[in-house]
Structure 1
Amino acid sequence: MRARLVGSLALIALVFGGAAPVVAQDRAGLTADLDTILSAPALAGADVGLVVRTADGQTVYSRDAGRRQQPASNAKLVTSVAALDVLGPDYRFETTVHTTGRRHGPVQDGDLYLRGTGDPTMLAADYDALAKQVADQGIRFVSGRLVADDTWFDDVRLGVSWAWDDEPFYYDAQVSALTAAPDTDYDAGSIIVRVQPGANGKAKVTTEPPTDYVTIANTAVTGPAGSANTISVDRVHGANTFTVTGSIPVNGAATSEWMAVWEPTGYAAALFRAALGRHGVRVLGPTTRGAVPTAGAKVATRRSMPLRELLVPFLKLSNNLHAEILVKAMGRATKNQGTWSAGLAAVAGRLPAYGVDPARLSLRDGSGLSRMDQISPDQLASLLGAARGRPWFPEWYEALPIAGKTDRLVGGTLRNRMKGTAAEGRVHAKTGSLTGVSSLSGYATTADGQVLVFSLVTNNAVGVNLKAMEDTVAIRLAQEGSAAARTATSVPDLEGQTSDVECSWVKAC
């Protein structure tokens, strides 16, 4: 994966400090062009903040950049930087299995414990591998219970001020120290509900991974060839009943919806119990929750990829659960408390080293889902500028979405933006979207080889294509120093709806 993400060595050298020293330049043309872009009539009434700085911190352009705004997923810039400092690039999550009591041949007296520390990359196959480790030790019967230990984190599952109507969907899934993802996007706490044309007029519904932890209430039908696909998947609040309604044409492609489960600890435990059964290990007692006793003996272990590699799906695909799990992991690492409050205190403690005063912002979660998050473009730009001096910066920079690069794990949320422009491959930036909110912050390497740090955050937008505005700004930054930059910039047409959620969250862009 890492090999595929390495860009031009020359470009990387520029961004990582290999460029010639920045010299004073006449940026009057750039200033005029940015003013023109931000004067678009569609932006009237919106709160737009933009700052552009050189790599050595000189301000090139600033407009309302000190005003705090909701950052949406630009909050992940703060979370990822703090996690690299607090946990370290080599940090790994560990999932373990423990026994209590004595062994009598194939019979294990006492309970079997499954203990998690928040690993968001655990798949059904990983729980199967843990079960195999247990079976390989000769255990065939466990006389007691299967106990799920999720005590590494607290049991507060959802963040402050998260929207209730997003709760059934995977990008708003619940946070637990024991969880599972359905595929290698690593959307922890989720399953995929897949709907296909079926026989006898009904639609066929399956889940990935297959599990009896959820119930499917299916009233969907198979419609005539060429008819509209009206399939809808929802989840009953407080339960794991997924309702599937609507119609799918007989010749239609399968519809897949990524959905959040209710109580991911039980989901992980169910996958593990099923895997034990496949490997010939029978647990006689029920599944419960509890902490591993001090005397528990470890019989199986699975370690995650290091944080330096997790950065790729985290930042490229704007994975909310990765952010929240990292916040709670930081709380555990610094205060032995796997809570949002302890983790956010750890984040705040790192910000002064990046020129950011934590008393002048508000972060209530790690992903930017909270409407109570407040940070200014100036503060984001300070973070971005200071990050360039960190030893882990090359990998973090490459983990940011890259404009116009179509591979999902290279271009990420920018893969379908700015293709064929001066910004393609030269803008590495984090996107962000909520209803009325859009943000783009990162780095642009100009045509004359300079690195510009920028942060653009817009709030209170109605009926505006904010992504088009952001792209126009980023392209203009990448053009700086070229003949194209000397061409007059016109006011862009921004009529249209702003995105309500990150494009990666709907799996379609």
Structure 2
Amino acid sequence: MPVRRVIPHARTLLFTIATSAALVVSTTVPATADTASDGRDALADLRRDIDAILDDPALAGAVSGVLVRSLSEGDTLYGRDAATRLIPASNMKLVTAAAAMDVLGPEYTFRTTVWAGEDPSDGTVDGDLYIEGTGDPGLTVDAFAELAAEVADSGVAEVTGDLLADDTWFDDTRLHPDWERGDEPFYYAAQISALTVAANQDLDTGVVNVTAVPGPRVGAPADVALEPMTDNLSLDNRAGTGRPGGQRTVDVRRPSGSNVFTATGSLPLGGAPYSTLRTVHEPTDHAAHVFADALADAGVKVHGTVGRGTVPGGADEVAVRHSAELSDLLIPFMKLSNNGHGEILIKAMGAETRGEGTWQAGLTQVKPALDRIGADVTALRQADGSGLSRGNLIRAEGVLSLLDAVRDEPWADAWLRSLPVAGDSDRMVGGTLRNRMAGTPAEGNVRAKTGTLTGVSALSGYATAADGEELAFAIINNGHRGPAPRGVQDAIAVRLAEFSRTAPTSGDTPADYRGGSVAPAPDAQRHGRGDLECTWAEAC
């Protein structure tokens, strides 16, 4: 049996949630007369090791597009099926984010404006009050409250007409035609609107928080709530309280085209509360009702109803809110793989450049933007902004080209900052990698975008090798059965963090690596937002 180099960390990795951030400090080994030979040997070892990792049974029957390139030296360290077009899942967000930074600019902000149809100088709007959105994904309940307070501070105390929502900056196509209809209730497939509510600090748009707490005794109703609750939503609570130690079966669903939420199942007496996210139908209406409640709390009385309307010419601006800058909004978008943000960015690019807030108009802006950046993505097929569509196709070499090209952009630092960091337990740093590669040379080192759909998994980004060499890598797995092969992806990333052209090969006991000992990240909670880009129930 030929002697093989043992992979020091990847053979026995057991990934746990990191409890503190750690920085991997690179050291440089002085060059010697044998450097060139050592470099060739080290590169051969790296290629053999990655080949062995990809032989993992988890990838039986799958196609893996893999490419590793040195950004420091400019050479290719490894490649397999890198020219094959594959479904990227949420790796498509790399494309969307780069295009948006080019087209919209890192300082771009979304504007939400309140208009009075008639002059409100006497404190009364004799007519309708309008709220106009342009897609701000950061409109939390608190943000609506601040906007309402600004209306009150302007002197407006009464509106004789209606409160009307103007969402015409985007079209009224709420769901992408490629998306699975069965995904509609779940947060990762929320409807897209130019006026929407972010239900939490993760800035999940077009959804409500659902909570359920067991009742005081067996057989009592569970305490179920939607937040933010508004007059356009209703809850039919059929959930109960089961025996202590029993199984949790509670669920909350709404039928397509309706905002009637029905809670069923049960929670065990004395058990933990249940929480999840569920989408709303017509997020514009929900946002308008949230704003109506905020106006009432601010002391502004609206005599009419809540509805839709287009801001008329000559309306008076009463209040305005600007979102955080795009460079900062990339953090929740990329760290948490927020699908809604990706679609908002696509429609915003269309609205700003062509006056059409549609998927079609926005997608026409992507390829020219990537050309300007210098990324070679000639084989790209992009259907949406988030990667939820299976109509998206890209080559690993295209992803790698993008990762390389963006480094020369003035917004490169913001781009890098937005990527999840391996093993960092801070949600807004580690993101979807916070539970992966902790306690390895990749922790605090690897910055990469994840991607998950049924039978599709991806991890692409950057790693610093052991001697300080900067590497970029793209891993796209298609057609695997069972769970996503995150252990395989992590083992490759860890191996890249260990790589050195100058260090001698290991003298450890000969062994073949087959990847079976690499454990995946611990399961996230099987409700709400976990490390997947979709719900566990749908295994998406």
How high is the TM-score relative to the length of structure 2?
Answer: 0.87
- Once the two structures are superposed, residues 342-400 of structure 1 have per-residue CA deviations (whole angstroms, 9 ceiling, x without a partner) of 11111111122344455522100010000100001000000001111112112211210
2:32 maps to which residue?
Answer: none
Bigger mean CA offset, 161-170 vs 490-499? 490-499
Matched, 1:105 2:122: yes
User: 1:50 aligned to 66, 74, 89, which one?
Assistant: 66
- Once the two structures are superposed, residues 470-509 of structure 1 have per-residue CA deviations (whole angstroms, 9 ceiling, x without a partner) of 011111111101568676561111899999995265599x
Amino acid in structure 2 at the alignment position of 1:35: D
1:328 maps to which residue?
Answer: 347
**CA shift at 1:10, angstroms?**
7.3
Instruction: Mark the CA change 1:73 to 1:155 in structure 2 (over 3 Å): closer, same or farther.
Output: same
**CA shift at 1:317, angstroms?**
0.4
1:18 maps to which residue?
Answer: none
2:532 maps to which residue?
Answer: 503
User: 1:288 aligned to 295, 303, 307, which one?
Assistant: 307
Instruction: Mark the CA change 1:83 to 1:486 in structure 2 (over 3 Å): closer, same or farther.
Output: farther
Report SS of the residue matched to 1:225: coil
User: 2:404 aligned to 374, 380, 385, which one?
Assistant: 385
Report SS of the residue matched to 2:281: coil
Report SS of the residue matched to 2:364: helix
2:289 maps to which residue?
Answer: 270
- Retained in 1: the 8 A contact 2:121–2:155? no
2:244 maps to which residue?
Answer: 225
Instruction: Mark the CA change 1:485 to 1:236 in structure 2 (over 3 Å): closer, same or farther.
Output: farther
RMSD: 2.7
User: 1:316 aligned to 331, 335, 345, which one?
Assistant: 335
Structure 1 segments unaligned to the other structure (5+ residues): 15-21
- Retained in 2: the 8 A contact 1:354–1:382? no
Bigger mean CA offset, 26-35 vs 202-211? 202-211
**CA shift at 1:326, angstroms?**
0.8
CA distance in 2, matches of 1:148, 1:417: 43
CA distance in 2, matches of 1:66, 1:129: 50
User: 1:39 aligned to 55, 60, 76, which one?
Assistant: 55
Bigger mean CA offset, 334-343 vs 37-46? 37-46
User: How high is the sequence identity, in percent, across the aligned residues?
Assistant: 47
- Retained in 1: the 8 A contact 2:379–2:395? no
Amino acid in structure 2 at the alignment position of 1:99: A
2:515 maps to which residue?
Answer: 492
Equivalent pairs counted in the alignment come to 496
User: 1:360 aligned to 371, 374, 379, which one?
Assistant: 379
- Once the two structures are superposed, residues 2-55 of structure 1 have per-residue CA deviations (whole angstroms, 9 ceiling, x without a partner) of xxx9986977x99xxxxxxx9993211101111111122442211111000010
CA distance in 2, matches of 1:173, 1:23: 54
- Once the two structures are superposed, residues 289-322 of structure 1 have per-residue CA deviations (whole angstroms, 9 ceiling, x without a partner) of 2221120111011111111111111111000011
CA distance in 2, matches of 1:347, 1:486: 49
- Retained in 2: the 8 A contact 1:120–1:181? yes
1:408 maps to which residue?
Answer: 427
- Retained in 2: the 8 A contact 1:158–1:174? yes
1:181 maps to which residue?
Answer: 198
- Retained in 2: the 8 A contact 1:318–1:502? no
Report which structure shows greater RCO (CA 8 Å, sep ≥6). 2
1:191 maps to which residue?
Answer: 208
User: Which structure dedicates a bigger proportion of its chain to helix?
Assistant: 1
Report SS of the residue matched to 2:134: coil
Instruction: Mark the CA change 1:483 to 1:248 in structure 2 (over 3 Å): closer, same or farther.
Output: farther
CA distance in 1, matches of 2:75, 2:346: 32
Bigger mean CA offset, 368-377 vs 34-43? 34-43
1:19 maps to which residue?
Answer: none
Report SS of the residue matched to 1:503: coil
User: 1:258 aligned to 277, 288, 291, which one?
Assistant: 277
CA distance in 2, matches of 1:113, 1:485: 69
Report SS of the residue matched to 2:95: helix
Matched, 1:172 2:172: no
- Retained in 1: the 8 A contact 2:157–2:301? yes
Amino acid in structure 2 at the alignment position of 1:53: R
CA distance in 2, matches of 1:251, 1:376: 51
Instruction: Mark the CA change 1:317 to 1:220 in structure 2 (over 3 Å): closer, same or farther.
Output: same
